[in-house]
Amino acid sequence: MRGALAALLAREEDIEVVAESAGSAQAVARAMSYRPDVAVIDIDGQEGWALAASRELASRLPECRTVLVAGAAAPLVLHKALALRVPGIVGKDGPSGALADGIRKVAEGGRFIDPELALLAIDAAQNPLTPREREVLRLAADGTPTRDIAGQLSLSVGTVRNHLNAVSRKVGARNRIDAIRIARESGWL
């Protein structure tokens, strides 16, 4: 994906690709070395490091603005990026010129948020799960048996089952596996 983005951007007369990198530490190090006006970071599948790199660049190299490129990023990830006040978020599925337009706008000091991604973030339901329900579901998602979840959280087995049933009811799931899938896709786990 990185090579395709670089090739796409290299075709623009007013945009120069000065470096590419494969990870957070390398991206920040290259940005510190090359001092670009804009750093473009692919967020899909690497949300944690992409947001961390954006935060670190904003702190260590404030003149370098960040544009995140996202496909079907979970709404929670989009909320986190918006909360960080990342200057640009562009969708992979949008028109081919949207990335270049977003980079230009961000380079000029503005913000560019892909309207489709913004709607996804706005339309996403707020997390209906309590912290305890998320904790129980997270352990269940890791494959921890109900009895072990109860032991780890100092709960009775019945209480763990009640939490899992409540989660399924709240998210409209047919069973525990479906609840885990729905929670993951919604960015709640």
Supply the CATH classification number for the domain 131-185.
1.10.10.10
Structural tokens at position 185: 């896709």
Q: Cα Rg for the chain, rounded, in angstroms?
A: 20
CATH topology classification for 2-123:
Rossmann fold (3.40.50)
Can you state the angle between helices 75-83 and 115-123, rounded to 10 degrees? 110
Q: Cα-flanking dihedrals φ and ψ of residue 73, to 5°? A: -60, 140
Per-residue pLDDT tens, the chain, 189 aa: give them: 778 888 888 899 999 999 988 776 788 999 999 999 999 998 876 778 888 899 999 999 999 999 998 876 556 677 778 888 899 999 887 787 899 999 999 999 999 998 888 777 776 657 889 999 999 999 999 999 999 999 999 999 999 999 999 999 998 899 999 999 988 887 788
Give the pLDDT confidence score for residue 125 in this predicted structure.
58
Give the pLDDT confidence score for residue 91 in this predicted structure.
85
Alpha-carbon distances, residue 67 vs 49, 167, 180, 184 (angstroms):
14, 35, 31, 25
Is there a contact between 66 and 39 (Cβ–Cβ < 8 Å)? yes
Q: For residue 24, what are the β-bridge partners?
A: none
* 3-state secondary structure (DSSP) of residue 20: coil
Q: Which sequence spans correspond to the domains of the chain?
A: 2-123, 131-185
